Structure 1
Amino acid sequence: MFPQRLCMQHLKQVLKHTVRNYSGSGNIPHVCVVGSGPAGFYTAQQLLKGNNKIHVDIYEKLPVPFGLVRYGVAPDHPEVKNVINTFTQTANNERCTFIGNVCVGQDISLSELQKCYTAVILSYGAEDDRKLNIPGEDVQNVVSARNFVGWYNGLPEDKNLDIDLDTDVAVILGVGNVALDVARILLTPIDILAKTDITEYSLERLRKSHIKRVILVGRRGPLQVAFTIKELREMIKLPGCRPVLHTQDYTGLDSIYKDLPRPRKRLTELMYKTAITPTETDYKLWNNATKEWELRFRLSPLEILHDGVKASGVKFGVNRLEGSDMVNQKCVLTDETESVPCGLVLRSIGYRSHQIDSSLPFDVKNGVIDNTRGRVKDMKGIYCSGWVGTGPVGVILGTMTDGFDVGKTVLKDLDTGLLDTISNREDALQLLQRRGVKTVSFKDWNKIDMIETTDGENIGKPREKIADIDKLLNIAHA
């Protein structure tokens, strides 16, 4: 009863704040944003900037904000996390309220939010991962890269990830930035990782890891890789580690990449030079390496090999590439097969969103909400931004652009009278209060933030993330 009483007291304070600042504001638009990752915060930022009366409530299912920036960005990429400073400014805006630890679809329904707000914007990202749907996929040590990232980044649902690093070889299925992030974490010297905000429990497991070789496998060729040049350059210069790029995969590409668009040209040129014409500096860097990573192409996984319990390798089908457009060639499976022994398989073939409410028009195949420029199909006042609407494409910059665009769409619909400004957002908060939901405010998050940074500083890290929901809530409501 005691935690529930704390929750009710907290909600009463939120309601009191609301009445004090927004009493008599029936015609002031109140917009609900579901999800506090980049898409949610950038959309909220645009709304607050574009209308000096609008109030935005940001709902988040976890007790802490920032979504993918906190739980998806690699710990050795602290510069990417600087956007948190901008998000914090948005959250501290007097017309913005963060409401954490509320799971839309469970604690409160979409239809209930729709009745309480001028508009509801779904920005909850892509939380599921795509499956291979091949034999052996469910055996031990076949792990989702998404779960692995959540594990080393302190995502509560992944803190007890069942993964065995007592093997020499890991195979990563996929050649995107997440695949390279995962490979880099597996191969980076521990003394470097120990200075980041990687979780201490994962750091200890990585300290005992026996992995010496990581193989990244793509279905097509080097012209179709999805990672970017920054991530590739980091891998090439990874201390104590050598790249293995097979010359036959790159022969002749020098006559092709010169005519490619600049980002693809620079990326392909770097792969080509690394494989065909490495420099003396490169050789010096790689000569004393004790670990290595390898790029393999034109292979499609057919089966996870295993000993009855645990993964022991991957059986691949060999592909050939067809099509005159070299960059967009399609892979065609041949009769030839190849098996690659390994003790760990990481699946990194893309993320997908899930349908939080049965009323949402949802594209099951692509894992996105059916929408046109952020407007959810056939649902007045319901919008979506970020990966839940676009699919898991691009980086944070692309999400920012989409969030801004969707925010502008909502503002336009307000200006043209398509949306009714009358709202009853206090009803939503009272509903959560009656249901005993332990909400977390942004001030509560500041308490969590202070403890995490203090704990991190005590062991020489910028932060030690707390991955236990109950502990997060106890700190928030202390």
Structure 2
Amino acid sequence: MTLRVAVVGAGPAGIYAADILTKSDVDVSVDLFERLPAPFGLVRYGVAPDHPRIKEIIKALQRVMAKPEVRFVGNVDFGTDVKLEDLAEFYDAVIFSTGAMADRDMRIPGEDLKRSYGAADFVSWYDSHPDVPQTWDFGDGTHTAVIGVGNVALDVARVLAKTGDEMLVTDIPAQVHAGLKAKKITDVHVFARRGPAYAKFSPMELRELNHSPNVEVIVHPEGFEVDDHSMEHIAKHKTHKLVLDILANWVGRDIEGKDHRIHLHFMEAPSEILGENGEVVGIRTERTELVGDGSVRGTGEFTDWPVQSVYRAVGYASSPLPGLPFDEKNFVIPNDGGRVIGIDGEFVPNTFVTGWVKRGPVGLIGHTKSDAAETVGHVLETTTETATARSTEDVDAFLRERGVDFITLTDWEKIDAAEIALGEAQDRLRVKLPTREDMIGAARA
């Protein structure tokens, strides 16, 4: 008999899990459930639009979705349209790969001021996520702060600094272009609590920061400190050494006088977001110093930076799922190698996780392959055939009875074709359909 598996979340983690399942020696059938009408998760709605090379991964994901053993079932919201007990009727095992799309807080004063933003919200806006507002409030400020030293921080800083017209070669729809074109930001200040040897940028992302003809990248020498432990660290981590070399080459170089600037400040820990009349007017940082073991401590020397907005890129967080346990401290579903652990400490039968909801938002997209392999191994080892209704017709009939207007792979291909057609009309590869209604309309055309 065919092993039936539901995967909730059709981003890279979920699609990799489906791929590994289909390559096993077991006869399987996999349904990929996704709450959006479009698949690909983080690749479509978390990667900056001016990173087309990274989005090449979509081609590989599409090949998996085209397998006869795999079905795409989009526009289905877990917890509302279908619950865990419902899935247990149709599937022998359920894998949750819902990712992490919420922002972590810095827990400093002023974080709730107007124009104090989480990076995830900004990314969702410029990536045209259909469930977020279509506009963004940049205000009239010319200076902004970005907190964090990861690739998301670089994406946010780059999009904030670039002109709107520079982004028009990407897949952004009209309202995102209009918002970026209207912003008045000239200077983006990126703050890092530790030194440059510990920055988590990837070398490619960092180099791309310097590719815009309109944006100057300035690495400030104050705080650009490297001690013995830093040297030991980069000797063990080739990527960190490459990043440090790039940054070192930028310190003190000649300024070309471009109209927009990204300032990289190391050894500055944000301590408070300053406000007046409920709005951001600045950020206060404390100079830190290296301790000698990779950590830093505050020096008691504070600086106030006049900025009119703040974007925190200090990490994503997964959200709880109805009917499943959740670790509120680490923002993951408790698990052992992908097997979900209930509040009683026992394994939840035939229930698994993979991706960021399993291990937290760390690593690049490619790292989810090995993660999915571990989870799928447990699925194949521990799952017994328990579903009572086993056909795709049963699933479809259930969803229709619930009034769910679900999206199939054929429907998604119509959406995809509509976006490509919009792009061709503007000499672009594609233009995203920004709303859920737009996408479903294209699928039903």
Question: Per the shorter chain, which TM-score range?
Answer: over 0.9
Instruction: Specify which of 308, 325, 328 is matched with residue 277 of structure 2.
Output: 308
**2:406 is matched by which residue type in structure 1?**
T
Larger deviation: 237-246 or 383-392? 237-246
Instruction: Specify which of 56, 81, 86 is matched with residue 107 of structure 1.
Output: 81
Q: How much has 1:477 moved relative to structure 2?
A: 2.6
Query: Which residue does the alignment assign to 1:135?
Result: 109
Q: SS of the residue aligned with 2:399?
A: helix
Contact 1:148 1:161 in 2 (8 A): no
Q: Structure 1 residues 461, 205: CA separation in 2 closer, same or farther (over 3 Å shift)?
A: same
Larger deviation: 200-209 or 342-351? 200-209
Is 1:152 the counterpart of 2:126? The answer is yes
Larger deviation: 251-260 or 220-229? 251-260
Query: Which residue does the alignment assign to 2:317?
Result: 352
Q: How much has 1:236 moved relative to structure 2?
A: 3.0
Deviation per residue, 1:368-391 (Å, 9 max, x gap): 111111111221211111101010
- Counting matched residue pairs gives 436
Q: How much has 1:459 moved relative to structure 2?
A: 1.5
Instruction: Specify which of 362, 369, 379 is matched with residue 348 of structure 2.
Output: 379
Q: SS of the residue aligned with 1:460?
A: coil
Query: Which residue does the alignment assign to 1:430?
Result: 397
Query: Which residue does the alignment assign to 2:419?
Result: 452
Is 1:272 the counterpart of 2:242? The answer is no
Higher relative contact order (CA 8 A, sep 6+): 1
Contact 1:190 1:206 in 2 (8 A): yes
Give the TM-score, by structure 2 length.
0.92
Q: SS of the residue aligned with 2:131?
A: helix
* 1:392-407 → structure 2 map (5 Å cutoff): 392-407=361-376
Query: Which residue does the alignment assign to 1:464?
Result: 431
Larger deviation: 397-406 or 39-48? 397-406
**1:227 is matched by which residue type in structure 2?**
F
**1:450 is matched by which residue type in structure 2?**
A
**2:420 is matched by which residue type in structure 1?**
T
**1:349 is matched by which residue type in structure 2?**
V
Query: Which residue does the alignment assign to 2:330?
Result: 366
* 1:130-279 → structure 2 map (5 Å cutoff): 130-250=104-224, 256=231, 259-275=235-251, 278=253
Q: SS of the residue aligned with 2:285?
A: strand
Q: Structure 1 residues 101, 293: CA separation in 2 closer, same or farther (over 3 Å shift)?
A: same
Distance 1:428 1:34 in 2: 14
Q: Structure 1 residues 176, 249: CA separation in 2 closer, same or farther (over 3 Å shift)?
A: same
Q: Structure 1 residues 251, 353: CA separation in 2 closer, same or farther (over 3 Å shift)?
A: closer
Q: How much has 1:81 moved relative to structure 2?
A: 1.1
Instruction: Specify which of 116, 123, 141 is matched with residue 97 of structure 2.
Output: 123
Contact 2:197 2:226 in 1 (8 A): no
Which structure would you say has the larger Rg? 1
Q: SS of the residue aligned with 1:306?
A: strand
**1:406 is matched by which residue type in structure 2?**
T
Contact 1:188 1:239 in 2 (8 A): no
Distance 2:14 2:226 in 1: 45
Instruction: Specify which of 276, 279, 287 is matched with residue 318 of structure 1.
Output: 287
Instruction: Specify which of 408, 417, 429 is matched with residue 441 of structure 1.
Output: 408
Q: SS of the residue aligned with 1:214?
A: strand
Query: Which residue does the alignment assign to 2:8?
Result: 34
Distance 1:341 1:387 in 2: 35
Contact 2:88 2:387 in 1 (8 A): no
Distance 2:302 2:225 in 1: 23
Distance 2:442 2:239 in 1: 45
Contact 1:144 1:346 in 2 (8 A): yes
Q: Structure 1 residues 272, 379: CA separation in 2 closer, same or farther (over 3 Å shift)?
A: same
Contact 1:46 1:408 in 2 (8 A): no
**2:278 is matched by which residue type in structure 1?**
V
Distance 2:238 2:128 in 1: 36
**1:65 is matched by which residue type in structure 2?**
P
Query: Which residue does the alignment assign to 1:332?
Result: 297
Distance 2:210 2:444 in 1: 46
Larger deviation: 117-126 or 292-301? 292-301
Distance 2:268 2:225 in 1: 18
Q: Structure 1 residues 251, 131: CA separation in 2 closer, same or farther (over 3 Å shift)?
A: closer
Q: How much has 1:334 moved relative to structure 2?
A: 4.3
Q: How much has 1:399 moved relative to structure 2?
A: 1.5
Q: How much has 1:423 moved relative to structure 2?
A: 4.9
RMSD over aligned Cα atoms: 2.1
Contact 1:189 1:239 in 2 (8 A): no
Contact 1:29 1:422 in 2 (8 A): no
**2:258 is matched by which residue type in structure 1?**
A
Q: How much has 1:269 moved relative to structure 2?
A: 1.7
Q: How much has 1:184 moved relative to structure 2?
A: 0.9
Distance 1:207 1:161 in 2: 12
Contact 2:74 2:406 in 1 (8 A): yes
**2:399 is matched by which residue type in structure 1?**
L
Q: Structure 1 residues 239, 44: CA separation in 2 closer, same or farther (over 3 Å shift)?
A: same
Q: Work out the percentage of aligned pairs sharing the same amino acid.
A: 36
Larger deviation: 425-434 or 58-67? 425-434
Is 1:291 the counterpart of 2:265? The answer is no
Q: How much has 1:301 moved relative to structure 2?
A: 2.6
Distance 1:265 1:253 in 2: 14
Q: Structure 1 residues 293, 343: CA separation in 2 closer, same or farther (over 3 Å shift)?
A: same
Q: Structure 1 residues 331, 252: CA separation in 2 closer, same or farther (over 3 Å shift)?
A: closer
Contact 1:32 1:120 in 2 (8 A): yes
Distance 1:468 1:368 in 2: 29
Give the TM-score, by structure 1 length.
0.86
Q: How much has 1:40 moved relative to structure 2?
A: 0.6
Distance 1:425 1:223 in 2: 54
Distance 2:210 2:58 in 1: 29
